[in-house]
């Protein structure tokens, strides 16, 4: 994929859920005549059966997908993927060595990937629902357009993970002690996620949304919180490095939205 097409795909993912609001028109000039390509890309994503089924009912999706057809133990999913298999739900892949693999669009619902090595792995558009990724290594992996719902990512290493223009949403998941220092989380959305003890030092969380997120003891040293919605976060006062975060005052462009009663200046 050349650089221009990659950029088009990023823009398409960014606006896929906002076409009805006219956002597509706002980026037409930036795309420079490639509107048809973007429309085709968006339509293809909407017609993807697995993505559509997951978005329709994320609670039931993994139950329908996990058929138990894969036994526990050593499984060569790379060969299976090369042969066209994309459904790896319900599999036991603890400590699997999948570094640098292409697993684009794979379904890992109800899969146990504890301790797996996924460094530099292409997980573009992959589905993670009720997935266990505790202590897994995802450094440098691509989670662009991936879906994460009710996952376990405790002590998981996500440093250097590629997300692509903030197109990532993690919902109702546990990320205690996750290593996320220096990550670009621009415009990412976390909903009901436990980030207690997570290392977010130096992370770019600008314009992100942290909805009902537990930040107890998280490290925010040097984090960029400009334009970030923190109104409903929990235990913000217990975070480390609050005196070093980047933020914007109310009324300014990209102002940071703090929880009611919280005054960041008390920590500066």
E strands, the chain, are 127-129, 147-149, 169-171, 189-191, 209-211
Q: What is residue 60's predicted lDDT score, i.e. its pLDDT?
A: 59
pTM of the model: 0.75
- For each of the chain's 268 residues, which pLDDT tens digit applies? 555 555 555 555 554 444 444 444 444 444 445 455 555 555 555 445 555 555 556 665 555 454 444 444 446 899 999 999 999 999 999 999 999 999 999 999 999 999 999 999 999 989 999 999 999 999 999 998 888 999 999 999 999 998 866 568 899 999 999 999 999 999 999 999 999 999 999 999 999 999 999 999 999 999 999 999 999 999 999 999 999 999 999 988 889 999 999 999 998 7
> At 74, phi and psi to the nearest 5?
-70, 125
Q: What is the rounded CA–CA span in Å between residue 149 and residue 193?
A: 10
Q: What is residue 42's predicted lDDT score, i.e. its pLDDT?
A: 52
Q: What is residue 68's predicted lDDT score, i.e. its pLDDT?
A: 42
User: How does DSSP classify residue 258?
Assistant: P
Q: What is the rounded CA–CA span in Å between residue 10 and residue 59?
A: 27
Q: Which residues contact 161 (CB under 8 A, 6 or more apart)?
A: 138, 139, 140, 141, 142, 143, 183
């Amino acid at each position: 994929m050349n650089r221009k097409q990659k950029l088009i795909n990023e823009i398409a993912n960014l606006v896929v859920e906002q076409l009805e609001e006219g956002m597509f028109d706002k980026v037409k000039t930036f795309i420079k005549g490639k509107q048809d390509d973007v429309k085709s890309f968006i339509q293809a994503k909407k017609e993807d059966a697995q993505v559509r089924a997951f978005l329709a009912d994320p609670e039931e999706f993994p139950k329908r997908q996990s058929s138990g057809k894969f036994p526990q133990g050593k499984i060569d999913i790379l060969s299976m993927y090369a042969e066209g298999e994309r459904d790896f739900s319900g599999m036991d892949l603890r400590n699997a060595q999948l570094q640098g693999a292409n697993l684009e669009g794979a379904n890992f619902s109800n899969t146990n990937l504890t301790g797996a090595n996924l460094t530099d792995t292409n997980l573009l558009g992959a589905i993670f629902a009720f997935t266990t990724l505790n202590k897994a290594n995802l450094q440098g992996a691509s989670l662009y357009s991936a879906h994460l719902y009710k996952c376990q990512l405790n002590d998981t290493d996500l440093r250097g993970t590629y997300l692509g223009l903030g197109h990532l949403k993690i919902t109702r998941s546990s990320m205690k002690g996750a290593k996320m220092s220096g990550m670009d989380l621009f415009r990412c959305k976390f909903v009901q996620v436990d980030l207690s003890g997570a290392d977010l030092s130096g992370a770019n969380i600008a314009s992100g949304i942290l909805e009902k997120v537990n930040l107890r003891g998280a490290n925010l040293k040097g984090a960029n919180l400009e334009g970030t919605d923190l109104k409903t976060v929990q235990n913000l006062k217990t975070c480390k490095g609050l005196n070093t975060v980047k933020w914007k005052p109310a009324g300014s462009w990209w102002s940071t939205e703090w929880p009611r009663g919280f005054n960041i200046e008390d920590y500066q």
